[in-house]
Amino acid sequence: MNTNFDVIIVGSGPAGVSAAFPLLEAGLRVLMVDGGKQPDVLTPEADFLSARSNDTDQWKWMLGEDFHTLKMRDAVSPKLRAPTHHYVFDNFAAKNYIESENFIAIGSLAKGGLSNAWGCGVARLSSEELDEYPFRKEDIERSYETVTRRIGVSGANADDLSDYFGLDAWSQPPIPMDELHQRMIECYSLAKKKGLAVDGFRLGRSRVAVLSRDLDGRKACDLSGNCLWGCHRKSMYSSSDELSFLSKYENFYYQSGLIVKNISKNYSGVSIEGMQGQGCKVFLAKRVILAAGTLATTRLALDALKLDAKVRLQCCPTAAFLLWLPRMLGAQRVNSFGLGQLSFSLKLTDGISAFGSTFSTLGIPVSEFVRHMPLRRRFSVDLLRQLLSSCVVGNMFLPGSLSSTEASLDADGALKIKGGYSNSVNSLMSEATSRLRKSYWKIGALLLPKSFTKAQPGGDIHYSSTLPMRPRPIIGETDANGELVGLSGVHVVDGACLPSLTEKSHTLTIMANADRIGRILAMQMTGKFSK
């Protein structure tokens, strides 16, 4: 057993890395452990259109040498079918003893976790959205700025979503839009001037953790269109890229390939036990930070607490849709940015809002659209060949408060998740469909009939609030510093500790909160303020 550590961080995803920086700056000895999985399929270096025309080995990253794409044809997301991302999701549920019913349980054992395959959407919570958080709003503002500047966020632009995202003061300029999105935003501005805008619908540039300018060895986006498959320029943020910066600290230690099985408290501190290869390893520290992702963290925490009660798991009801711009029919295919280019906020009934973004269809295999078309496959392919170059694809999220998903430990220590949504979700989805159809039509885009597709619970991969921070927490909850009640010295910094889940992208808030908690622990343990 190694007893030389001040803090052990379980997980090298965005939360774990964000907590690590202030602890290391304060001089604390920090051990980080993760599942250690790394890429086994190279991402294309040529732009998407050139690679599709000229790369004789493109089948290796589009289908996989073991035909991974075909084996995963029932998966919820194109990312799960991309061979370049296979390592990100591989074997997560089995290794972490997670079982689910009517719920898509996704996590990662990779270096950098799910940040290797995320949509890079970022947002800052408003003062009102932070009301449920048991600390002063000012306490997280510094962390929002620190993290935003560190990871590189683009999209700063004076538009109708500037206040909604709240990040422009610290962000890089936007990444250029493709012709279709440029037309949409121009038509939106014109419709507003004519008084045609639909009440409650706001449109603006997406704010994304993707570089429009070089930063710390990472290169700016070159519009290659390869976002789904991976970015060899590292324009898209992944916490795996920050491990090299952490490694520059002499007080940083890293154990890759260690899957933590349990946590325990004793008179000497807190220990973690895990498997590394065929061997068992135990490490001891004064404190342990759980940043393994909401699902894995929840199982570890409930198991350590010997708590068999059901806990609520929030996830966002989500849907996808396809928009056709008739006036752009026959538009030429050109390489473009493959993540969110425009985003929308839509006010619905009962104070509930929806949020979503639209993306270029370039870089996404035609098969991903054919599977959702209300036609026979042959006719769907023929139709999409004509339409796709004038289409954009969109997604939509509702707040996690509409989730009725529950999780609990079974007698064998496995985390059982039973998914569900509240009864109001179907009517809200119907209203959102109608409102989006009207709003987009006024800016020249037709929401294609039957294309609005609702996902199963968990399909959003936005999980949170199983171990929520509360002003007066009880067993199974956390305090303002993320410390788990009933297990002192164990802190939760990933999505599990969020008190609630809005419709907004939540990763930046997780990172800012982890940075905030890291600063607090650094001060408590050393008496030094972090930079």
**pLDDT, average across residues 284-308:** 97
Question: Residues 258, 121: one domain?
Answer: yes
Dump pLDDT digits (tens) for 412-438: 999 999 999 999 999 999 999 999 999
pLDDT of 371 reads: 64
| Residue 467 covered by a domain | yes
Confidence of residue 483 (pLDDT cuts 50, 70, 90): very high
**pLDDT, average across residues 95-110:** 96
| Residue 404 covered by a domain | no
pLDDT of 377 reads: 66
| Residue 369 covered by a domain | yes
Write the CA distances from 399 to 21, 117, 138, 294, integer angstroms: 31, 22, 24, 17
Question: Residues 13, 102: one domain?
Answer: yes
Question: Residues 284, 370: one domain?
Answer: no
Question: Residues 257, 208: one domain?
Answer: no
Tell which residue, 421, 415, 385, has the closest CA to residue 400.
Answer: 421
Determine the Cα angle at 292 with ends 287 and 298, to 5°: 85
Question: What CATH number corresponds to the domain at position 128?
Answer: 3.50.50.60
| Residue 294 covered by a domain | yes
Question: Residues 28, 97: one domain?
Answer: yes
pLDDT of 2 > 60? The answer is no
Question: Residues 311, 181: one domain?
Answer: no
**pLDDT, average across residues 76-95:** 90
Question: Residues 248, 141: one domain?
Answer: yes
Domain total in the chain: 3
Question: Residues 132, 21: one domain?
Answer: yes
Question: Residues 248, 286: one domain?
Answer: yes
Question: Residues 202, 225: one domain?
Answer: yes
- Measured between alpha carbons, how far is 244 from 248 in angstroms, rounded to an integer? 7
Question: What CATH number corresponds to the domain at position 342?
Answer: 3.30.410
Confidence of residue 374 (pLDDT cuts 50, 70, 90): low
pLDDT of 197 > 80? The answer is no
Asked whether the beta carbons of 357 and 394 are under 8 A apart, the reply is yes
pLDDT of 383 reads: 74
Which amino acid is it at 150? R
Question: Residues 287, 330: one domain?
Answer: no
Question: Residues 378, 435: one domain?
Answer: yes
Confidence of residue 278 (pLDDT cuts 50, 70, 90): confident
Determine the Cα angle at 106 with ends 103 and 108, to 5°: 165
- Measured between alpha carbons, how far is 134 from 114 in angstroms, rounded to an integer? 27
| Residue 402 covered by a domain | no
For the chain, percent of residues with pLDDT exceeding 70: 96
Confidence of residue 3 (pLDDT cuts 50, 70, 90): low
Confidence of residue 373 (pLDDT cuts 50, 70, 90): low
DSSP state of 164: H
Range of the domain at 66: 38-89
